[in-house]
């Protein structure tokens, strides 16, 4: 039974290395020639990087092949793996739609094409064999001009059947000179009733308190408990949740010791701040959500009760989960004795079915 919720997963970084390599071999001669051997490609694709900026460059490798024609191919495999291997009941998939449009078009035409991209992604996520509640978060981007980011925001509001919120991505160190602009965009998003999250306080260069009041969830936010714990009471009062993606911080060089994570969780729990555990880029890390859970347990970062609290928080803060309780509550109710009727007491004779012959 699908049990978990994933709140922070990028479409670009979600493609596992084997599937991406096979796509190159079958469909892209240039990239197939660049990566003829799978083991070498997997090492290149999943190894840790020196910085967040270097790490984010890997997204461009995938964005270049995620076109309107190929998106269903990648998304089908993403949903299939998330359902079978990760037991996901709920998935928010985030990406920048502008980067999936035809780069040969003008900026205006690419903006117009974004609606098609959102529709393709939304329809591709609906797979009967792998039932899952899915929704999209559209990412504004620090590399894009105001006009494109504003168009992404407006598109999110126009397509609620597919989109549940907006994000700001592209490396949190690049926001500084445009804080007024991003603040205005978030104000506009809230006025339209959009749910909001944003990549903030992931690195030491991305700590911008001015943006925090506009967010309902904080993408990463680990520098808050690590370096600015005085902000935690206000975050708790606003009911904000941190989307913590443990493996990411070692892939980007943001953290060096797994035990650093303990302080993040401890300070959040003490302040009453909810934490959702996420993968961020499951493909780039070769790391599925249950393995994130297992690592936190085996490294003594969390105990089982704390892990379950984070799992429940993920459903509570999900932007588009349509039910009052997470799916594990349904399973628990089914297993309660007062909800079960014995089929047959073995101490009594089995009932005889009165089957009438067919005339």
Which residues does residue 280 pair with via DSSP β-bridges, in sequence order? Answer: 9
- Strands (E) across 194-303 are located at 195-196, 199-200, 217-220, 241-244, 274-277
pLDDT of residue 171: 79
pLDDT of residue 64: 86
H or E stretch at 71:
helix 71-84
Q: How far apart (Å, rounded) are the C-alpha atoms in residues 254 and 140?
A: 23
Residue 95 lies in a domain: yes
Residue 336 lies in a domain: no
3-state secondary structure of 81: helix
pLDDT of residue 353: 39
* Domain containing residue 146: CATH number: 3.20.20.140
pLDDT of residue 349: 52
Structure tokens at 351: 């009932």
**Do 73 and 79 contact (CB within 8 A), yes or no?**
no
**Residue-level pLDDT, tens digit, the chain, 359 residues:** 569 999 999 999 999 999 999 999 999 999 999 999 999 999 999 998 888 888 888 888 888 899 999 999 999 999 999 999 999 999 999 999 999 999 999 999 999 999 999 999 999 999 999 999 999 999 999 999 999 999 999 999 999 999 999 999 997 778 989 999 999 999 999 999 999 999 999 999 999 999 999 999 999 999 999 999 999 999 999 999 999 999 999 999 999 988 899 999 999 999 999 999 999 999 888 899 999 999 999 999 999 999 999 999 999 999 999 998 888 877 777 777 555 555 444 445 544 434 344 33
Give the CA distances from residue 340 to residues 331, 347, 348, in Å, rounded to whole numbers and listed in that order.
12, 18, 19
DSSP state of 161: T
Q: How far apart (Å, rounded) are the C-alpha atoms in residues 150 and 118?
A: 16
Q: How far apart (Å, rounded) are the C-alpha atoms in residues 21 and 38?
A: 7
Q: How far apart (Å, rounded) are the C-alpha atoms in residues 301 and 292?
A: 11
Residue 241 lies in a domain: yes
Residue 337 lies in a domain: no
Give the CA distances from residue 57 to residues 51, 66, 106, 256, in Å, rounded to whole numbers and listed in that order.
10, 15, 23, 21
Give the largest CA-CA distance in the chain. Answer: 84
Residue 354 lies in a domain: no
Q: Which residues are CB-contacts of 180 (< 8 A; sequence separation ≥ 6)? A: none
The values of phi and psi at residue 90, to 5°, are: -145, 135
3-state secondary structure of 346: coil
- What is the count of structural domains for the chain? 1
pLDDT of residue 351: 44
Residue 355 lies in a domain: no
DSSP state of 170: S
pLDDT of residue 172: 77
What is the per-residue DSSP string for 270-293?
Answer: HHT-EEEE--BSHHHHT--HHHHH
**Do 91 and 134 contact (CB within 8 A), yes or no?**
yes
The values of phi and psi at residue 200, to 5°, are: -140, 150
Q: Which residue has the tokens 């270097």?
A: 54
Instruction: Determine the structural domain holding residue 222 and report its residue range.
Output: 4-325
Residue 283 lies in a domain: yes
Residue 341 lies in a domain: no
Nearest to 244 by CA among 187, 302, 165, 193: 302
């Amino acid at each position: 039974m699908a049990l978990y919720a994933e709140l922070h997963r990028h479409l670009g970084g979600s493609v596992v290395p084997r599937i991406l390599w096979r796509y190159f071999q079958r469909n892209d001669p240039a990239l197939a020639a660049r990566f003829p051997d799978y083991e070498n490609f997997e090492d290149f694709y999943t190894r840790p990087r020196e910085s967040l900026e270097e790490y984010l460059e890997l997204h461009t490798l995938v964005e270049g092949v995620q076109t309107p024609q190929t998106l269903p191919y990648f998304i089908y495999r993403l949903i299939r793996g998330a359902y079978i291997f990760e037991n996901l009941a709920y998935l928010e998939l985030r990406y920048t739609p502008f980067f999936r449009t035809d780069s040969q078009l003008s900026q205006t035409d690419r903006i117009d094409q974004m609606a098609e991209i959102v529709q393709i992604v939304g329809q591709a996520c609906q797979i009967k064999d792998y039932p899952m509640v899915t929704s999209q978060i559209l990412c504004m981007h620090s590399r894009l001009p105001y006009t494109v980011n504003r168009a992404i925001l407006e598109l999110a509001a126009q397509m609620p059947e597919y989109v549940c919120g907006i994000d700001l991505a592209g490396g949190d160190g690049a926001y500084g000179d445009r804080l007024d602009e991003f603040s205005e965009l978030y104000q506009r998003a809230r006025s339209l009733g959009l749910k909001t999250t944003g990549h903030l306080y992931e690195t030491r260069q991305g700590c911008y308190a001015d943006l925090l009041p506009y967010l309902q969830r904080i993408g990463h936010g680990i520098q808050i408990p690590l370096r600015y714990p005085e902000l935690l009471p206000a975050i708790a009062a606003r009911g904000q949740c941190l989307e913590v993606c443990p493996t990411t911080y070692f892939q980007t060089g943001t953290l060096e010791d797994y035990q650093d994570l303990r302080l993040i969780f401890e300070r959040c729990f003490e302040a009453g701040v909810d934490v959702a555990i996420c993968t961020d880029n499951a493909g780039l890390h070769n790391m599925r959500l249950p393995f994130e859970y297992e690592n936190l347990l085996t490294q003594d970062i969390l105990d089982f009760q704390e892990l379950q609290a984070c799992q429940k928080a993920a459903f509570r803060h999900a932007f588009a989960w349509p039910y009052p309780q997470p799916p594990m509550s349904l399973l628990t109710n089914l297993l309660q004795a007062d909800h079960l009727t014995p089929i047959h007491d073995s101490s009594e004779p089995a009932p005889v079915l009165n089957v009438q012959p067919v005339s």
